[in-house]
Structure 1
Amino acid sequence: MFSPALRPRSKLLRAGLQTFSHGPLRRRTLPRNARWLTSPASPEHAKGPLPGQQVDNEFAEAMGFVTTYLRAVESARTDHIIYDPFAEPLTRKDRLQIQQFMNTVSGKYHRSPEDMIAIRTRYLDEALSHRNPEIHQIVLLGAGLDARAYRLEALRDCHVLEIDQGAAMFDHKSDVMTELHAPMLAKQVDCIVFNLADAGLEVNLLARGFDPTRPTFWAMEGLLPYMDRPSNVELLKAIDYLSWPGSEFYCNPRLQ
């Protein structure tokens, strides 16, 4: 549930509050979202790329910067529904390029991308804040420039494992946070460079201290469109296999 402080600014925001859902993930059963990944009757907007249409890696990395830039735009609003103080410094040096990129894709993927990112970010913030209190192991899949380990009080005393295929993004984030002398709220953060479309999630997680005998909060924020359906299904199966009872799973559909 969203806190009473959240006041939708538009019909899009109001629709967003009703669209996303999250809940507990039971071991040995696929997450609820997997049903529409595998169903031929799925809504077109929820399918992501068709098989053979994997999103280009450079485009995915560029969108990671765009997402963070849009968080900065939202955070600067007087009526913001999220506040990420690190989004602006993380994209400051590339701001002009990001704005030019935004101009070329404006309206192509979302009518109001800044609102979509605000909804998505706020929902995951709330989901993490209201998770099972026994969960202290967080896995962010396709983390990009995510700064929750530095800004979200709910992650204090947590082990956060961030996974993304781009080492450059992790290096950039580390450099910026060092320059800012930003204190980390999470107890521990491990950045894992790994392509989630490949096999080997379990090996990579275990190598960085992941404990499969503890409940986990899994977050797939904005990840589905960047992988084809077979890869998404295999990833969901791996998540299910690694999830101890009491684990929770978050995944958002594409919001138009």
Structure 2
Amino acid sequence: MKTTTQTFQLTPAAAETYEAAFVPAFFAQWVPPLLDLAGVGPGQRILDVACGTGIVARLAADRAGDGAVTGLDLNPAMLDVARRVRPGITWCQGDAVELPFPDGSFDAVLCQMALMFVPDPERAVAEMVRVAAPGGTVGIDVPAALADQEAFAPFVAMAAGHVGPAAADLLTAYFRCGDVERLDSFLRGAGLADLTVRTVTGRYRFPSVDAAVTTEVESTPLVERLDAATYARIRAGAHEVWRSFLTATGELDAPFATHLVVARKPAG
């Protein structure tokens, strides 16, 4: 795999699980506040960078009306699901660090829960700024730092103790862009202004711990990096570290913090 591209690659089966389980249980909740903060509205040209199965693009299209929405992702399996779920959107395969669009093509350029998987996030931000129109907005949503994740810090520590270095690196990758000062530096260094940062603590909800572990493993590249025994140890360990986040009926309801960062490209 090229070192300049995202490393979060999924099989077709994992992409389907991602859309069916992860999107409604986790990712969808942060889309409305991201769209609100970015001022997404009717008639706009919108790009969803590293779109996955397209939840941001789909909800943006609902707001854009007669505008034009494009979703871009490196992973063909993700795009296949996106096309099936919402065929009316333009779906493109491409690299976040080499966006295949002319300068100033979009009124809003968005990236939800993906920048941390790009080996060169600073370059990806610069590309997002390049394709944003003068006066347009760039909006990014990333998980807060692992140290700020009450439920996930102990889960990652437990799981990392059972897996090899490659899988442990994937577990911690989710939180690599959680430093707000670093994000601020990327955005200002790329020429953006009027930065707004909002930390939103959402919920990580699943019918059970087992359902959460299944989704975490089988809708991510972890599924290809664990043997059955290691998978079982992680499942057992999750029941211990997430015990305090169970409801009376056994559902998992844990906090998860993200940073929404939106900035404007100067008009002139």
Q: TM-score, normalised by structure 2?
A: 0.43
Larger Rg: 2
Q: TM-score, normalised by structure 1?
A: 0.45
- Structure with more of its chain in strand, by fraction: 2
Q: Which has the higher contact order (CA 8 A, sep 6+)?
A: 1
